[in-house]
Amino acid sequence: MHFYMETLIETVYCVQPTGIVDSSRPNYVCRLNKSLYVLKQAPHAWYSGFASHITSLGFVEAKCDTSLFIYCQDADMPFLLLYVDDIVLTASSTIISALRWEFSMTDMGPLHHFFGVTVERRDESLFFSQ
């Protein structure tokens, strides 16, 4: 998934990027409107933008874990677990399409391992072990 370019809350300046320096004003700096990958604010800005988008789709942030989102408008009740920029998603193709519309995503197939946890499908359930 690519970093979602979210509007910054605070004012951030940076030097003019190499190759794009204004020759008439070489000592000027750039004021950033959007987050860049290298900024210390980038993870928070990305998470805020991502959380805002998926809550607009109907997901609700779990009270027990801010990285877990639950879609409460379906009888199936899909879950989305976010760790940095990795996602575990149990959802219909409609929800996946809505996320792909906004974010660059790669489907890695059925879940086997995630964050040191082994996942096995057993009938209609999942078995997690470490």
Per-residue pLDDT of 10-54, as tens digits, reads 788 888 888 888 899 989 998 888 777 667 777 777 788 888 888
Q: Is the pLDDT of residue 113 over 80?
A: yes
Give CA–CA dist 94/100, Å, rounded: 10
115: number of Cβ within 10 Å: 10
- The sheet with strand 86-90 has its strands ordered as 59-61, 68-71, 79-83, 86-90
Phi, psi of 45 (to 5 degrees): -65, -40
Question: Whole-structure pTM over 0.75, yes or no?
Answer: no
Domain boundaries, the chain: 7-129
* pLDDT in the model for residue 117: 85
Q: What is the mean pLDDT of residues 77-98?
A: 80
Per-residue pLDDT at 5: 56
